[in-house]
Amino acid sequence: MPMDGAQSMPSVALAVSGDLFGGAERQVLTLAIELRRMGIRPSIICFHDAEFAGQVRAEGLALTIVPRAGPLAMIRELRRQMKIARYDVIHTHGYLPCILHALVAYGQVRTMHGAPEFSGTGVLRRMCLAIYTTFERLAIRLRCAALVYVSDELQDRMGWRAAGISLVIPNGIEVPTPAPLVRHARGDTLEVLIAGRLSSVKGVRYALHAVALLDPECRVNVRILGEGEERAELESLARDLQVFDRVTFHGFQRNIAPWLTAADVVLIPSLHEGLPYILLEALGYGCRVVATRVGGMARYFENSPFVRLVPSTDPQAIADALKLEAVALSSPAQRQLASKYVAERFGARSMAEAYVRIYFSAIRSRDQPRVGGITTQ
């Protein structure tokens, strides 16, 4: 990474709500660990003492919990924390950290992991989310030194711009070494894994309908990991479709590695995505992937030999793809190639180095004169 040897590493705080443990939280944790390896001592700020906070503590990273007490109280606490820690850069993930830190100081870095989601909620909740989105867009436009998207497609679709720069940095993972070897052979039951939040945007209902379309002789075992507002509805749908003999709901799993090690195929039936961590993790473990042709999955994996893309909301296309995977032969060498593929293109170190360059850019822009909140060059 080109960097002046006399230039000291910045003090960085990564801010995230922390109520869930999804792709954004995985990215924050992966980035923080890699920044520490590079000589930066990152701090994590979150608003919920839940699963994410527990994993941050387990990694020995600095953690500050700012309780959800109301906007004014939270702003006062964030101001106090910034005076104590004197962070060079605040890197936010999620609309609430973005809005609150915009009211505290100019110059944050904001990562957009996906488009705002409004489905599956009541009218009042949808109105609140629309208001939050409006405030966030204003905060980014006036107070954000850098806006980072995880895929070109997400940047094109959203079209939001920052006071400073807007750019794309794909997510990255630390690939397990060596990659686990494959077990599936022709005639065996195909082990299929679905992992993620059980909400409408993840498209799990289309996967269940796809399993119902499979012939009885197609031996498939689908394991679903995750929690969410749709779990009870999806379990009811599985019963109605009479696929409970092929589908098992396992709830949230803290350690996904054993599940990926046991899987032959990871299925991602989402309606839209940024660049999902489960896809990168699946390839890192040498799994093949069946995914919908949306978001960063379409942008980065259209011609990948390890990812089979299908149209979204199309159970028949998913079923056809699973049939092909069920009769495919996969060798240990192919599994190693999948792991190497993602390591070369989506490594954690490359992601962290790109963010450090943005951090230095944000520090420089923070001290430049601004007119109406806009940095002048």
pLDDT in tens, 105-126: 889 999 999 887 655 556 777 7
- What is the mean predicted confidence (pLDDT) over 31-38? 97
β-partners of residue 203 are none
Give burial (CB, 10 Å; 0-12/13-18/19+) of 135: middle
Q: What does the pLDDT read at residue 121?
A: 56
Q: What is the pLDDT of residues 134-164, one digit of tens each?
A: 999 999 999 999 999 999 999 999 999 998 9
Percent of the chain with pLDDT over 90: 71
For 8, which DSSP code?
Answer: P
> Which letter, b or e, does each residue of 240-261 get, where b requires 16 or more Cβ atoms within 10 Å of its Cβ?
ebebeebbebeeeeeebeebbe
Least confident interval from 82-86, 167-171, 313-317: 82-86
Task: Kindly calculate the radius of gyration of the chain based on its CA atoms and give it in whole angstroms.
Answer: 21
Q: 3-state class of 50 per DSSP?
A: coil
Q: What does the pLDDT read at residue 328?
A: 73
Q: Report d(CA 354, CA 41) in Å as an integer.
A: 17
Give residue 49's Cα distance to chain centre: 20
Identify the CA nearest to 81 among candidates 117, 52, 111, 47.
Answer: 47
Give residue 116's Cα distance to chain centre: 13
Residue 330: pLDDT over 90: no
Q: What does the pLDDT read at residue 189?
A: 87
Q: Report d(CA 212, CA 48) in Å as an integer.
A: 39
Q: What is the pLDDT of residues 212-269, one digit of tens each?
A: 999 988 889 999 999 999 999 999 999 999 999 999 999 999 899 999 988 999 999 9
Domains of the chain: 12-173+347-375 (3.40.50.2000), 190-345 (3.40.50.2000)
Average model confidence (pLDDT) across the chain: 89
β-partners of residue 308 are 290
Q: What does the pLDDT read at residue 377?
A: 35
Q: What does the pLDDT read at residue 69?
A: 86
Q: What does the pLDDT read at residue 339?
A: 86
Q: What is the pLDDT of residues 266-316, one digit of tens each?
A: 999 999 999 999 999 999 998 899 999 998 999 899 988 899 999 999 999
CB 220 within 8 A of CB 251: no
Q: Report d(CA 6, CA 107) in Å as an integer.
A: 23
For 201, which DSSP code?
Answer: G
Least confident interval from 58-62, 131-135, 349-353: 131-135
- What is the mean predicted confidence (pLDDT) over 186-206? 89
Q: Report d(CA 174, CA 268) in Å as an integer.
A: 20
- What is the mean predicted confidence (pLDDT) over 354-369? 86
For 11, which DSSP code?
Answer: P
CB 28 within 8 A of CB 14: yes
Give burial (CB, 10 Å; 0-12/13-18/19+) of 198: buried
Count of beta carbons in the 10 Å neighbourhood of residue 163: 24
pLDDT band at 329 (very low <50, low <70, confident <90, very high): low
117-122 long-range CB contacts below 8 Å, 24 or more apart? Answer: 117/199, 117/201, 119/199, 119/200, 119/201, 120/199, 120/200, 120/201, 120/229, 120/230
Identify the CA nearest to 47 among candidates 92, 83, 5, 106.
Answer: 92
Q: What does the pLDDT read at residue 216?
A: 87
Q: Report d(CA 199, CA 119) in Å as an integer.
A: 8
Residue 12: pLDDT over 90: yes
Give burial (CB, 10 Å; 0-12/13-18/19+) of 115: middle
Q: What does the pLDDT read at residue 180?
A: 57
Count of beta carbons in the 10 Å neighbourhood of residue 82: 16
